[in-house]
Amino acid sequence: MPMKKQRMTDMDATDVSALAAEELNWSALLPVSDTAADGFGEVPGLSLSSILRLMEEQGKIGFWWHDLATDRFSVSPGAARISGVPLTAIRTHENLLNRIHPQDRPFQIDQVGLINTGQPLRREFRIVRPDGTIRWVSSRIDVVLGDDGRPVRFIGILSDITERREAQRAVEFNHGRHMALIEATSALSWIADLSGQSIDHTAWCELTGMGSDSCAGEGWLDAVHPNDRDRVRASYRAAVAQGGVYNIDYRILTQAGEYRWYNARSAPVRDASGAIREWQGVLLPIDGDYRPVIGDPDTDEVPALTGAHIRGARGLLDWSLAQLASVSGVSVSTIKRMEDGSEGNTRASKSEAVRRALQTGGISFRVIEGTTWISR
């Protein structure tokens, strides 16, 4: 038997309990003309009531509505769960508004005034449940107007968006931490797409004075010293092809018209499945004395590689003899003899091929005070 319509403010606790226990008229959420929208009202066995219940059961969502003609305020179980307030304790819209976080409340006090003028609202804010827990909610309020253009019903939808907000906050926190690290190390960052083509090169443009269009793809290489360019291109392409880390030193022509040494590093950014999504890289200025790279045509002499150099470089790359042989074009047996020191006078072409292969993999050879150092 339907309950007699009364003003919620005049109802006692017993009446509220009875209202909570009754079969809620979900169809009252929408005007009759809207309940059949998109065919929902015409599907046998599929009512708007069942759809809304399913939405509440499957998601963190709830509904409330206020009929202004009768001043009847009704709320769904989902809205009660989100607010943390017992269904029987929610008598008015203000009962929900009172749960708004004190710090957010000053920005939400205009809600009642705005919807009374017929303006729909979409807001996001925090609420404080009675047990003290804080949740983020998305609140949407639609206004149904009568023939005279005045509001006759308010329909509210509450969604718990705490997880999305926390994920967003984590992203913002990590971005702030990343930017602080970039600033502390004087590093310049850049981003490339899956294929290694530059897509965000703002820092490179600021450093070199190149235009954004000129930096696209592999255009950024135009600012690399001519004697370093082929080595850098080969090393970068190898890293992209192998999905490995890129680490190399080279000279860059700056806006000031002078070449400066930088250490460039990049690593693939992977999605949850492990597939590479993009590449993130940084440029670190190298301070101090000029540090030539073995194989740089500007150096007077290119020291020969020793077996220790080759073994150490393979170890840094985690390459097997077969892998080095495949990249260099030098046989496994020859490389093994080079590492053992039993090859004797290795042909310069073979030694050069091995060195180039290791550099392609990301190895840098530096001569500092007469000693050859290797790094990745």
Residue 141 pLDDT level (bands cut at 50, 70, 90): very high
- What is the CATH number for 326? 1.10.260.40
- What pLDDT score does 139 carry? 92
**Average of pLDDT values for 245-256?**
88
> What's the pLDDT at 103?
93
Q: Are residues 119 and 219 in the same domain?
A: no
Flag whether 225 is in a domain. yes
**Is 83 inside any structural domain?**
yes
Of residues 37, 26, 8, 35, the one with CA closest to residue 63: 26
> What's the predicted TM-score (pTM) here?
0.45
Does 117 or 347 have the greater pLDDT score? 117
Residue 161 sits in the same domain as residue 192: no
Q: Which of 285, 319, 341 is the last residue of a domain?
A: 285
pLDDT at 318 > cutoff 90:
no
In this prediction, residue 345 carries a pLDDT of 61
Identify whether the C-beta of residue 255 lies closer than 8 Å to the C-beta of residue 232. no
Contact 214, 222 (CB under 8 A): yes
12 lies in the same domain as 161:
yes
Residue 323's pLDDT band (cuts 50, 70, 90) = confident
Q: Are residues 30 and 147 in the same domain?
A: yes
| pLDDT confidence bin for 182, thresholds 50/70/90 | low
- 13 with 154, same domain: the answer is yes
Which amino acid makes up residue 38?
A: D
- Same domain, yes or no: 19 and 154: yes
Query: Euclidean distance between the first and final Cα of the chain, in Å?
Result: 80
Is residue 182 included in any domain, yes or no?
Answer: no
Nearest to 76 by CA among 25, 37, 138: 25
161 and 40 share one domain: yes
Is residue 4 over pLDDT 60? no
- Distance, C-alpha 196 to centroid of its chain: 19
Q: Give yes or no: residues 281 and 311 share one domain.
A: no
Average pLDDT, the chain: 78
Most confident of 122-131, 207-216, 265-274: 122-131
- pLDDT at position 17 over 70: no
Whether pLDDT at 297 is above 60: no
Residue 300 placed within a domain: no
Task: Tell me which of 128 and 178 has the higher pLDDT.
Answer: 128
Mean pLDDT of 350-372: 75
319 and 359 co-located in one domain: yes
Tell me the average pLDDT across 109-128: 90
Q: Which of 244-258, 322-336, 352-366 has the least mean pLDDT?
A: 352-366
User: 37 lies in a domain?
Assistant: yes
At 359 the pLDDT is: 77
14 lies in the same domain as 159:
yes
Asked if residue 79 is part of any domain, the answer here is yes
pLDDT at 162 over 70: yes
Beta-carbon contacts of 313 under 8 Å, excluding residues fewer than 6 positions away, are 358, 361, 363, 374
| Model confidence at 239: pLDDT above 90 | no
Question: Do 46 and 141 share a structural domain?
Answer: yes
Give residue 42's pLDDT.
54
**Confidence band (pLDDT; 50, 70, 90) for 363?**
confident
> The domain containing residue 102 runs over which residues?
8-165
Output the domain CATH number for residue 67.
Answer: 3.30.450.20
Q: Is residue 336 part of a domain?
A: yes
Residue 264 forms part of a structural domain: yes
Select from 234, 253, 285 the last residue of a domain: 285
pLDDT at 254 over 70: yes
* pLDDT at residue 125, rounded to an integer: 93
Residues 47 and 106 both lie in one domain = yes
Number of domains in the chain: 3
